[in-house]
Amino acid sequence: MIKFQNVSKIYPPDIKAVDNVSFEVGSKEFVSIIGRSGAGKTTLLKLLLAEEKPNQGRIFLNDQDICRFKSTKVSELRRKIGAVFQDYKLIPSKTTYENIAYIMEVIGVSDFEITRDVAGVLEIVGLTERANSFPAELSGGERQRVAIARALIHRPEVILADEPLGNLDPYHALDITRLLLKINTLGTTVILVTHNKNIINSLGKRVITLQDGKVIRDEQNGRFIL
């Protein structure tokens, strides 16, 4: 479903953020990416979202070369990929409901569909009761649930989560990991970037390890080894 073929990303003057990386991720797979700070994890995700262009190599989503996409195809691509970040990126002045509905309003979805779909994703993340709360009224774990609900709203094929556990205590980190596993079980591919050793070692899923922009390990039932 996702294929990186000899992909390199060099930031000027000559920072090799991603260095000749090749891997494939199958449909409905759950893959974690680990690596020290600066290893190239975020750059890898940005390449997949077409926020950055590779200097070398090709990136495919469902056999389409995303590096050749024009802007309308890039918008389409970003609706197929939901992104979640460490700092949630919620709008403080909007409620849970509004934070999710907002992106549908922007693309002109009907009110009927917005109400139905927002209720659906809130149900999945278990936040129906918090629909009218503002981010400041929510715990870190709940904020990340809102961000995940927002990422799910376009029914993406893939969820990219860039250190989503980074600001959470162990209890909420486990909680969000379970939610990502549930979303994966419901049929969405998940790519999880995390520094959380305990979570990685308890998942028993595929782990790709990056070092200096290179894949140094790619194992099913991988462990946290840096």
Ligand X SMILES: Nc1ncnc2c1ncn2[C@@H]1O[C@H](COP(=O)(O)OP(=O)(O)O)[C@@H](O)[C@H]1O
Residues 96 and 131: beta-carbon distance below 8 Å: yes
Q: What are the tokens at 19?
A: 């260095």
The least CB distance from residue 205 to Mg ion, in Å, is: 20
Binder of residue 150, out of Mg ion, ligand X, none (CB less than 5 to 8 A by kind): none
Closer to ligand X by Cβ: residue 35 or 135: 35
Closer to ligand X by Cβ: residue 85 or 97: 85
Using alpha carbons, list the distances in angstroms from residue 162 to 42, 65, 113, 204: 7, 23, 29, 19
32, 42, 95, 209: which one contacts Mg ion (CB under 5 A)? 42
Closer to ligand X by Cβ: residue 11 or 171: 11
- Alpha helices (H) along the chain: 41-48, 71-80, 96-106, 111-125, 140-152, 170-185, 197-203
The least CB distance from residue 18 to Mg ion, in Å, is: 12
Closer to ligand X by Cβ: residue 117 or 162: 162
CA-closest candidate to residue 18, choices 6, 36, 1: 6
Site for ligand X in 24-43 (CB under 6 A): 35, 37-43
- Is 15 a binding residue for ligand X by CB under 6 A? The answer is yes
Residues 219 and 188: beta-carbon distance below 8 Å: no
Chain residues binding ligand X by CB under 6 A are: 11, 15, 17, 35, 37-43
Chain residues binding Mg ion by CB under 5 A are: 41-42
